[in-house]
Amino acid sequence: MRIYRDKNRTGLTQVTCNRCGRQLKVEKGVLKEGCFSADTVFGYFSGKDGTRHRFDLCESCYDALLAEFRVPVEESEERELC
Instruction: List residues binding Zn ion (CB under 5 A).
Output: 17, 19-20, 58, 61
Which H/E stretch holds residue 37? strand 35-41
- The letter for the amino acid at 17 is C
Q: How far is the CB of 23 from Zn ion (least distance, A)?
A: 10
Quick one: 23 or 40, whose CB is closer to Zn ion? 23
* Phi, psi angle pair for 3, to nearest 5°: -120, 130
Q: How far is the CB of 54 from Zn ion (least distance, A)?
A: 15
Q: How far is the CB of 35 from Zn ion (least distance, A)?
A: 9
Q: Half-sphere exposure (CA, 13 Å, Cβ side) for 69?
A: 10
Quick one: 15 or 58, whose CB is closer to Zn ion? 58
Quick one: 33 or 49, whose CB is closer to Zn ion? 33
SS3 59: helix
